[in-house]
Structure 1
Amino acid sequence: MASTTFSFEVFGPVVVRENLGSNNEFDDVVGGTNGSKHNHSREEYWRDSSFMETLNSDFGLYQDNLLESDLVFAKFQQQDKQEEYPLPADDLLDDLNFEAGSPTLQTCLKEIANLGSELSGVQHGKDKKEKQHPFWLASLELLKSYEHRWKKLDGDKFIKPSSNTTLNRLADPSLSTEEIIRLAGVKFIQTTSSVGDLPSTFIHPYGSSFSGLSDQDMKDAQLVELLLFAAEKVHYQEFHRASKLLNQCNCLCSNKGNPIQRVVFYFAEALRERIDRGSGRIAVNACGKRQKPDPHAQMTNPTRSKIACHQELPFVQVAQFAGVQAIVESVDDAKKVHVIDLNIGSGAQWTILMQALVLCYDCQIELLKITAVGTSSKNRIDETGKRLINFAQSMSLPFTFKSVVVGDVLDLKHELFEIDTEEAVFVYSQYFLRTLIPQPNRLESLMKVIRKTNPRVMVVAEVEANLNSPNFVHRFIESLFYYGACFDCLEASMSREDFNRRIIESIYFGDAVKNILASEGEERTVRHVKIDVWRAYFGRFGMIEAELSSSSLYHANLVMEKFGCGRFCTFDMNGKCLIVGWKGTPVQSLSVLKFT
């Protein structure tokens, strides 16, 4: 059997930095090994035809046959608002225990008081100023967590896709979106609280004022500070004052401007909707009798914008390459491979697997079977299957495709997968489990079905952000940092005039922000949690994380290097989970799980 590693030596070695004296497990990066259907070394194969270039070419041909959705573009052009759909009423957060209840003001004070002399301006318990400003106290707590977020990770290893990421600022002296948000946060806290000088752990490189900034950075920081003031007024339900502040924001922001201006534009829209709901101008359950959107219908629709997102943004492909490598390494001596995909989308990830199996296993695979799961959009899933069948035929790889479409996740049974006893089963979930967070009974049912399939590994890629707090302040600050990083990434990847970028920002980001901030209870369907929460949840089903191999990390690194903006991406380990970040802000997690 040939080696199970497909690699890209042509791109050069991975660069690894070890923090705090930890044992570096990635020193010995997997090099080329012999054995392929071409009867020559893998190094020679990559010199003859780069696998990455081949994939880019093949995906270009593959995507030519993808369906385009006129609905998405019509929605953007008409500037329609996304409808909200309630789910069955339950105390979903408590049922899933995804997050503890909102911290009380006293709890915040106690935690901050424990910092000792670091916060000399904050007094204890009964201070009237403290009781009037839970917004700034919560902001201070979150600002501290973002200042030290990488130090809180369980793992200490840090992988840099470029030779010297920290020097990239020399080519781009302007502040990142996250830096501007942090600076505005420090200024906001100082303005609205009794804190005079923040401790050094919170001090921005430019201090507590806007001195030393470029004119544009100063304007951007002032704009974010204005947004924070508006959010504070919304929090206290001072809607008239909040509306005036948002009017000022609207004069300074734009959905066609720089990243900060775009972020503020969509956050201001979300705050306005929250005002409308809070003041009764929008009925909370106005859409209650309408049909709920199906997450599969949204995620399996291969629109032009999704293709552009796949091609221009590095995060999706990082999960695909590293995840596929984890599957390849677990195939071992299996002759039949069965992959169950919970969110197949365009299916591009399986073109990677097909080429890897052909290269690494010298066509010893007797059958590759892919089963795509959905709750609607069977025609779209089947179209994806046809394209994959054609691709497999071009690779001379024995292949079958099956769609399992059920009306409700509760109707999904493991018998529907028709698993052969000789098959090695793998489960792949990319950005799907999060859609079931508001429906804990369905998520639990799905996990029980997955367990019955007895997969060798389950690959899970999810958003790495805590946007599920029942507390509005926490959701606002966390989402501001997370989506700020996303908009910053788009700025580095696509032109400001790019139509697909505007689609991504408006529908995939803007509508999500609106749901996160303006909706409550069962209407709040966009809920993201971090890997620590998922890890605890998976543990209920006897699932443990498997080590990501150095080869998987190597491939993730090579994917980043393929992108022009890849030098701004960072990798870190939380336990055995890979955390992908943008300029230090966590964006995505990738886990490989096994059942005990």
Structure 2
Amino acid sequence: MQRLRTARKGLEARLAGTGSQIYRSLMAKRASMVCILKAYQFYMDSCCFLPVKHLFSNKPSHNAVAGGRKLHIVHYAQRIEETGQRLSECARQIGVPFNFHGIAKKLEAVHVDDLGIDPDEVLVINSMLHLQTLMDESVVVERPNPRDMVLSTIRKMRPSVFIHTVNNGSHSNAFFMPRFREALQRYAALFDMMDTIAPRDNDKRLLVERDIFARCVTNIIACEGMDRVQRPQSYKKWQARSQRAGLKQLPLGP
């Protein structure tokens, strides 16, 4: 079974001390952006809980921009240039004035001055699961650590709304066994879900399991230190961290 093979390979790599090399090789073999988008669309269509994060992202953004004439979205994401090209083409097709400015920096190295914020525009900041790859205080002993640096920068931007989507889990535990058990439970459930919605030879399912699930499981199980980039925390920990940075939680709108 795919889930057992993935966990077994992660454990074997950990014991052999080759986790970092194997994870880098998985990243190097990553499919094209088009294939990943198709697989992610399949993943979205298959999971009733995934569209919820987009619903909660779009609704506050819509409420924030009501009555405004200019919208500025700061999106913490990966593959910036490819994303910008697709957004620019989409805006061109529907006739919406659009400017894209990609910043090729580490997330914690982005500063307010890099963004060209206009006081007259509505500023919306969005992060869909990307802040979970930042190192925290368990790795970076200097203060502030990258997570706190990013949240502090967001506070300085003074956005109308900041939407932060997280994986509510604790499989970033510094101790291996609790992390292993948590990851196994989470991803076993996801593999079970795939079993109910698509045959095992479905190309899109194979892509999801290989390029999303397997890479994450391998990194969580086989890697340590700076090489372990999959570090989700519970929403309560992120909430406390955000409050320490000076951010305030908004009520859920209608």
Shift of 1:506: 1.9
From 302, 313, 317, give the equivalent of 2:46: 313
Residue 251 (structure 2) aligns with? 547
Post-superposition shift, 1:483?
0.4
Structure 2 residue corresponding to 1:512, chosen from 216, 219, 224: 216
Which residue, 232, 236, 244 being the options, matches 1:532? 236
**CA deviations over 1:155-204 (Å, ceiling 9, x no partner):** xxxxxxxxxxxxxxxxxxxxxxxxxxxxxxxxxxxxxxxxxxxxxxxxxx
Note if 1:268 corresponds to 2:8: yes
1:541-580 equivalent positions in 2, closer than 5 A: 541-550=245-254
- The answer to whether the 8 A contact 1:378-1:403 is kept is no
Question: 2: distance between equivalents of 1:285 and 1:387?
Answer: 37
Instruction: State the partner residue of 1:107.
Output: none
Q: Does 1:327 align with 2:31?
A: no
Following superposition, the deviation at residue 410 of structure 1 comes to 4.3
- The equivalences for 1:428-447 within 5 A come to 428-438=126-136, 441-447=145-151
Structure 2's unaligned 5+ residue stretches are none
Is contact 2:84-2:102 (8 Å) kept? no
> Highest Rg: 1 or 2?
1
Q: Among residues 60, 63, 72, which one is paired with 1:338 in the alignment? A: 72
Q: How many Å separate the matches in 1 of 2:62 and 2:99?
A: 19
1:119-155 superposed Cα distances (whole Å, 9 cap, x missing partner): xxxxxxxxxxxxxxxxxxxxxxxxxxxxxxxxxxxxx
Cα deviation for residue 516 of structure 1 reads 1.0
CA RMSD of aligned residues (A): 2.7
Distance 1:432 1:310, change over 3 A: same
| C-alpha distance after superposition, 1:459-484 (max 9, x if no partner) | 11111111111221101111111101
Contact 1:331 1:424 in 2 (8 A): yes
Partner amino acid for 1:428? Answer: N
Partner of residue 201, structure 1: none
Q: Which has the higher contact order (CA 8 A, sep 6+)?
A: 2
Query: Partner of 1:425: helix, strand, or coil?
Result: strand
Equivalences for 1:378-417 in 2 at 5 Å? 379-393=81-95, 397=96, 399-417=97-115
SS state at 1:333 partner: coil
Q: Secondary structure at the match of 2:123?
A: strand
- Residue 458 (structure 1) shift: 0.6
What is the deviation of 1:285? 7.3
- Tell me, in whole angstroms, the C-alpha distance in 2 between the residues paired with 1:545 and 1:488: 34
Picking from 194, 198, 211, the partner of 1:494 is: 198
321-330 or 486-495: bigger deviation: 486-495
Post-superposition offset of 1:421: 1.7
Q: Kindly indicate which of the two structures has a greater share of residues assigned to strand.
A: 1
Determine the structure 1 residue equivalent to 2:34.
303
SS in 2 for 1:501: helix
Q: How many residues align?
A: 241
Tell me how far apart the structure 2 counterparts of residues 285 and 428 of structure 1 sit (CA, whole Å): 30
Secondary structure at the aligned position of 2:67 is classed as: coil
Summarize the Cα distance change of 1:410–1:319 in structure 2 as closer, same or farther, 3 Å threshold. closer
Output the CA distance in 2 between the equivalents of 1:453 and 1:435.
Answer: 21
Letter aligned with residue 204 of structure 2: N
Amino acid at match of 1:392: I
Q: Secondary structure at the match of 1:549?
A: coil
Structure number with higher helix proportion: 2
Unpaired stretches in structure 1, ≥5 consecutive residues: 1-260, 344-373, 551-596
Cα pair 1:464 1:528 within 8 Å, conserved:
yes
Residues 70 and 121, structure 2, Cα contact 8 Å, conserved in 1:
yes
* Partner of residue 125, structure 2: 427
- Asked if 1 retains the 8 angstrom alpha-carbon contact of 2:135 and 2:226, the reply is no
Paired residue secondary structure (1:329): helix
Separation (CA, whole Å) in 2 of partners of 1:318 and 1:286 = 35
Shift of 1:378: 5.1
